Copies of this chain bind each other. A is one copy, B any other.
Amino acid sequence: MEEASRTRASFSRRVLNGLLLCSGDMEHLDKYMKDKSFVLQLAVCGLRGVTRVILANNPLSGGLILAALYWASPWQGLLGTLGVLASTLTAVITGQDSVEVAGGHHGFNGMLVSLLMGVYSSAGDWYWWLLLPVFLGSATCVFLFSGLSSFLDRWDLPAAVFPFNIIIILYLLCTGPEHPYFPHHSVKPPGALESNATELIALQVIRGIPLGVGQIFACGDLGPSLLILGAVFLYSPLLAVHALLGSAVGTLTGLSTAVRHESLYSGLSGFNGALGCMAVGGFFIFSLWTHLFAIASAFFSAYADIALSNLMGTVGLPACSWAATLVATLMLLLTGSLAAYRIPIGQVRAPERNLQLRSQWEAGNTEERESADEHKGS
């Protein structure tokens, strides 16, 4: 009996260790991958790229997210896969920094562009001509990412999803609802008045909160959205909490400005809040103070998203994640008490790891100081 329980304990410890190895940034994988074939390396950096969208960096999370997308719609899953591969390969060909490429920095914008092209297309699934703009758009993201990084580098700011936001808007502007080759849905602004207003269903609104996390990948089904949330949880539980909290804040914001019910139910009013919240949660050391700023950032992102959606909706365009990207950039520029918690862009890891590294570093500092004091004393 005792032996059995001991075996079970050791087994569960091994499972936990395995899980811990699979969570976080999985830096140990990089050493292991060094002498592997190009295709395998490409797959891993593609999967890392998939998670970069949600500020994560973990190939297993990437696999889960991709599975969620294939689950929601095989066509969307295919588009996403092609997008991340096209832009990563373009980055390799145009000679981008190999560490950046391996970290998946050149994949996520291409992936988002492809997914959104698929979602907005009104030509239906499996419309193979769509692959042309998908390839071109994903490849162009690399140019924008590289150019914008040079520009924003002066302030140690990331190019983030600016390339995606620019390319998808340009694509939608080039084509149109009645375009002969690439027709797409026109977007209705969230502030548009509803002709037959119905009662708001509370349960649907609450359902919109996890959907808000899925909408980051343009996914509007509950199951896959929960799987995506699980993928974030695998990378970092703290980040998953921020995502849910941000989405809830976004929904609250939508309620306070009386947006269309459809916008609340689908999670579209939540995903900018989620991104804004995760950005502060991810780029700053976790503390009570940063947590309050993360909530403020979620509110600001969500309100700005409603404003931009109404503005861009006048010409039939979506606001994508412009709001969250701009607000996150602003938060990174902030001076004052938040700036003390900021992590330099190159050193960002999973929130838990950031916390650990900071406390180690602080402990190290204290020890050093103590030993210095001792030396003085002696």
Contacts and interface: CB of A to CB of B under 8 A. Distances in A.
Contact of A181 (B143, B147, B257): B257
CB-based closest 5 A-B pairs: A95-B337, A173-B307, A147-B333, A147-B330, A170-B307
A239 to B, nearest CB: 22
Nearest to A257: B174
Contacts of A335: 96-97, 146, 149-150
Contacts of A300: 140, 143
B258 A331 contact: no
Contacts of A180: 258
This chain's copy number in the assembly: 3
Nearest to A182: B257
A304 B170 contact: yes
Given A136-B303, A146-B334, 18 more contacts: A96-B335, A97-B335, A97-B336, A136-B299, A143-B331, A146-B336, A148-B330, A149-B335, A170-B304, A170-B308, A173-B308, A174-B307, A174-B310, A176-B191, A179-B257, A179-B258, A180-B258, A314-B315
Interface string A317-334: 000000000000111011
Nearest to A311: B173
A187 to B, nearest CB: 14
A311 B172 CA distance: 10
Contact of A143 (B146, B148, B315, B330): B330
A174 B143 contact: no
Interface in A16-36: none
B150 A334 contact: yes
The number of chain A residues touching the other chain, given as a range, is 35 or more
Interface of A: 91, 94-97, 136, 140, 143-144, 146-151, 154-155, 169-171, 173-176, 178-181, 191, 193, 256-258, 296, 299-300, 303-304, 306-308, 310-311, 314-315, 329-331, 333-338
B338 A151 contact: no
B258 A144 contact: no
Contacts of A299: 136
A174 B94 CA distance: 41
